[in-house]
Structure 1
Amino acid sequence: MHAVVVTQPGGPEVLTYCKVEKPTVKPGWSLIKVRGFGINHSEVFTRQGLSPSVSFPRILGIEVVGEVAESTNQPSLAVGQTVMSFMGDMGRAFDGSYAEYVLLPNDQIYPVTTDLSWAELAAIPETGYTAYGALLGLRLQSQDHLLIRGGTSGVGVTAAKLAHALDSSIQVTSTTRNAAKTDLLTGAGVDQVLLGGEDPLPAASRFDKVLDLIGPKTVKDSLQHLNPGGIVSSTGELGGQWNLEDFEPIAAIPNNCYLTSFYSGDVDDGVLQDLLDLIRNKQVDLAPAKVFKLAEVAEAHREIEGKHNFGKLVVVV
């Protein structure tokens, strides 16, 4: 089969499109014919050698949509069934989805019912589930004012659209460091755009809920801009910082406010199907910003690292 292999850490040029052996099915695992996958910032970090648990050579890719090709778990995973998978040790401890086929543990494969195209479906797994799960954790209510920090990322754009699908009365403000992306955000349904990324928010700004995709680098600032009863969800690490430093909860979290997070590695297949049903019933447009071929994965990595990236990038095989 064809795959994209990384033999050593480095820039996008280390993503090598080549022929490799097709995986052989083993007990407890099933072979998935890859139809598409999204490109994620975590895969960029791994390619750069910043994931200490990952050894090379490795086929990256932490998510996939496709069809069951061979299964050791029939009839639950019937051949030809449309499935989705993401996270776990995929693309890290074992080879991932940057290939024509991927071998996955049965308990990490989720059958789904959908009429979306492969390109549309490929934009959903990690990005859509993260956005949807984080929004559920924020316990959005009618008339809430939601701030999305890191609003031009794939998760940020998706979260803005899903928030309005959940309740059209929710006001969404998204941040961007690039003023040129203001029209793109408003075109995606964002109600208000706030210029700035990792900088402190304007002193007087207040929000009911904050989806902080920049993460630990900005969480303490986000907490200081909550209305009473407000919630910050630190879901993402776009700021490149993994841990909260010098964090003293009593001082950092205002009275009657809350800090939470969402981890997409804990997958609830019922919530996943609810997400797909919401997208269908509310006709949410989650079409990817750009679609690449398998041989163009290196180009997709250059795009996601560039200044002009907006929304979700996917590969269709």
Structure 2
Amino acid sequence: MHAIVVSTPGGRSALQHTKVPAPSPGPGEVLVEVEAAGVNFIDVYQREGRYPLPTPFTLGLEGAGTVSAVGEGVDDIAAGDRVGWVNSLGTYAEKVVVPASQAIPLPDGLAADLAAAVLLQGLTAHYLTHSLYEVRSGDDVLVHAAAGGMGLLLTQMVKLRGGRVIGTVSTEEKEKTAREAGADDVLRYEGFADKVRELTDGKGVHVVYDGVGAATFDGSLASLRIRGMLALYGAASGPVEPIDPQRLNQGGSLYLTRPTLAHYTLTRDELLWRASDVLGWVESGALKVHVSERYPLADAARAHEALEGRRTTGKLLLIP
């Protein structure tokens, strides 16, 4: 079978489309024929070596497809079942082995590519808005990169919970996309903290969802109201430098957290709760998923280039 293999971490040239032996499921695992793989910033971090992995490795954590074989001890999943997953390395491939405990059943009416496009970002948006900070009706919320895959889902989930979304974007086209998703106000990045204050009568927002990182961090802190929370869930512009905790005091007894999805899907029950909500909303039309572009598996480097260049709105997929 073919897969995207990284032998030496680095730039996009590290993504090698090559033949590898097909895997077999072990005890408690299932083998899946990949129909679509999601492209995410964590893939870039792993490719670069920012998140080190033993080499060589096949990239990709998120996807959807059809089970072709099951390992010993798996009795609740069978060959022919359609599943998705969010934390199984090796998804940039024609086949992948997934722990049965991480396999998410797909609704009959939901296409595999839509599941692959929404699971990782959708579950992340779910825990950010439903657990890490439970958005309440009337809350003011700042969503960075509001026209990206995560930003669009965050915007919609905040609106589902009755919050007000102030989004940041880089272009007029992206502003239109963010507003179509439900953003109440849309700003450019330059001077956004002062504008957020103006839009909130000087108070600031209850929570900032920041996946941009270094370029927005200071402004994000400055956008918060007293006892507000900064959820720094990514670093698309680079990692944030260490800070003096006293800044949180000076800003108004602020909260700062750097969360990850794995800690909010600790049990299968929690995983399936979040997935059931997200996939159910997609199936019903309550949550819109925008796929920006689909690339052949061999063009993984082009997909990474588009993602890193922040030229995309919505999700990027690889199709084996």
TM-score range, shorter chain: 0.7 to 0.9
One-letter amino acid matched to 1:211:
Y
Q: Which residue of 2 aligns with 1:46?
A: 46
After superposition, the CA RMSD in angstroms is: 2.5
Q: Deviations over 1:125-181 (max 9, x none)?
A: 2111111210113211222221102323321121112222x24x4321111234552
Q: Whole-Å Cα distance in 1 between the matches of residues 284 and 81 of structure 2?
A: 22
Describe the SS at the equivalent of 1:265: helix
1:107 paired residue among 73, 78, 101: 101
Q: Is the 8 A contact 1:122 1:315 kept in 2?
A: no
1:191 paired residue among 184, 187, 194: 184
Quote the offset at 1:78 in angstroms: 1.6
In structure 2, the gaps of 5 or more residues are: 199-203
Q: Is the 8 A contact 2:225 2:252 kept in 1?
A: no
Q: Is the 8 A contact 2:74 2:100 kept in 1?
A: no
One-letter amino acid matched to 1:208:
H
Q: Whole-Å Cα distance in 2 between the matches of residues 313 and 192 of structure 1?
A: 26
Which stretch has the larger CA shift, 174-183 or 303-312? 174-183
Q: Whole-Å Cα distance in 2 between the matches of residues 212 and 113 of structure 1?
A: 31
Question: What are the residue-to-residue correspondences of 1:176-255 with 2, within 5 Å?
Answer: 176-196=169-189, 201-202=193-194, 204-205=197-198, 206-215=204-213, 218-219=216-217, 221-228=219-226, 230-241=228-239, 244-248=242-246, 251-252=249-250, 254-255=252-253
One-letter amino acid matched to 2:291:
P
Q: Is the 8 A contact 2:63 2:115 kept in 1?
A: no
Aligned length: 306
Describe the SS at the equivalent of 1:292: strand
Quote the offset at 1:276 in angstroms: 1.4
Q: Whole-Å Cα distance in 2 between the matches of residues 175 and 248 of structure 1?
A: 27
2:308 paired residue among 291, 305, 312: 305
Quote the offset at 1:260 in angstroms: 4.2
Quote the offset at 1:297 in angstroms: 1.5
Matched-pair identity in %: 28
Which stretch has the larger CA shift, 108-117 or 75-84? 108-117
Q: Is the 8 A contact 1:234 1:260 kept in 2?
A: yes
One-letter amino acid matched to 1:163:
V
Q: Is the 8 A contact 2:146 2:152 kept in 1?
A: yes
Q: 1:48 to 1:216 in 2, by over 3 A?
A: closer
Q: Which residue of 2 aligns with 1:81?
A: 81
Q: Which has the higher helix share?
A: 2
Q: Which residue of 2 aligns with 1:63?
A: 62
Q: Which residue of 2 aligns with 1:157?
A: 152
Q: Whole-Å Cα distance in 2 between the matches of residues 65 and 76 of structure 1?
A: 17
Describe the SS at the equivalent of 1:124: helix
Q: Is the 8 A contact 2:5 2:59 kept in 1?
A: yes
Which stretch has the larger CA shift, 282-291 or 38-47? 282-291
In structure 1, the gaps of 5 or more residues are: none
Which stretch has the larger CA shift, 140-149 or 170-179? 170-179
Q: Deviations over 1:236-260 (max 9, x none)?
A: 22231156422336525524x5444
Q: 1:243 to 1:196 in 2, by over 3 A?
A: same
Question: Does 2:129 match 1:126?
Answer: no
Q: Whole-Å Cα distance in 1 between the matches of residues 50 and 172 of structure 2?
A: 30
